[in-house]
Amino acid sequence: MRLYQMHSSPWSERARWALDHHHLPHERIEHVPILGELLLRIVARRPLGKLSVPLLVDGDQVILGSLAIARHAEQKGSGEPLFPSGKDEAIERWNQIGDGLVEAGRILVTHKVLADPEGQRESIPAFVPEGFKGAAAAGTGIVAALLARKYGFAGVSDATARAQAREGLLALRAALVSGRHLVGERFSYADLLMATSLQFLRPVADLYMPIGPATRRCWSNPDLAEEFADLLAWRDQIYAEHRK
């Protein structure tokens, strides 16, 4: 299996985690935002329409999106199920809440990277030679503008993104009052996806997702992290127990 992914993206982390959980070995290919789209189109044999990562290639099959990849992993792999039977609707609802959080996070992170030259430098792919990194970083604004257009967040303010984020965070807090697992009595994909959705409050330890110091700064929102410290404690525990 080949997973086209972005190593710092929570959506890609969901796919990696589900594949790892089900003991499915896979090669990871780092996607370069916007510039890598042509390769994705060739791989997915899709000349038209929006294409994103994570994208999984398994033989003749091309599986698009984190949720579909996690379901595919459940069918193909071994290990404890992540999708308890009869709970599809609940998982779908958490997926929507989690996506709302990661979308809000993407807006906040993009704005922070645009204001942080070191963050821009760290976001340049590793294959770009050191001497060209400065020039490549100058293109960050163009890539950010194209991503904002592609995902419909051009002109959306931090205040709007934060309000959207708080809504999802409060929903998670309310659900965790009745137990540490969101769906059923055991660890499920709902826990996995909501744990990854808190990345933009404070990234998980480098042990799980290594990132540079400037990238960590851009992905941090200390005031939200303080307000929702209980959720981060839950997230860290879920990672410690289940992200092998």
3-class DSSP state for residue 30? Answer: strand
State how far the Cα of 125 lies from the Cα of 131, in Å rounded to an integer. 13
* Angle between helix 189-196 and helix 229-242 axes, rounded to 10 deg: 120
CA dihedral (98, 226, 187, 83) in degrees, to 10, reads 0
150 contributes a contact to ligand GSH by CB under 6 A: yes
Q: What angle do CA 165, 192, 143 make, to 5 degrees?
A: 55
Q: Are 74 and 91 in contact (CB under 8 A)?
A: no
Among 3, 6, 182, 198, binds ligand GSH (CB under 6 A): 6
Question: Which residue, 76 or 227, is less far from ligand GSH as judged by CB?
Answer: 76
Binding range to ligand GSH, per CB under 6 A, among 59-67, 117-125, 127-135, 219-227:
59-67
What binding mask, one character per residue, do residues 23-42 give for ligand GSH by CB under 6 A, x or -? ----------xx--x-----
Among 57, 65, 164, 208, binds ligand GSH (CB under 6 A): 65
Among 1, 3, 9, 219, binds ligand GSH (CB under 6 A): 9
Q: How many Cβ atoms are within 10 Å of 42's Cβ, its own excluded?
A: 10
98 contributes a contact to ligand GSH by CB under 6 A: no
Beta carbon of residue 233, minimum distance to ligand GSH (angstroms, whole number) = 25
Give the binding site for ligand GSH (CB under 6 A).
Answer: 6, 9, 11-12, 33-34, 37, 52-54, 65-67, 99, 150
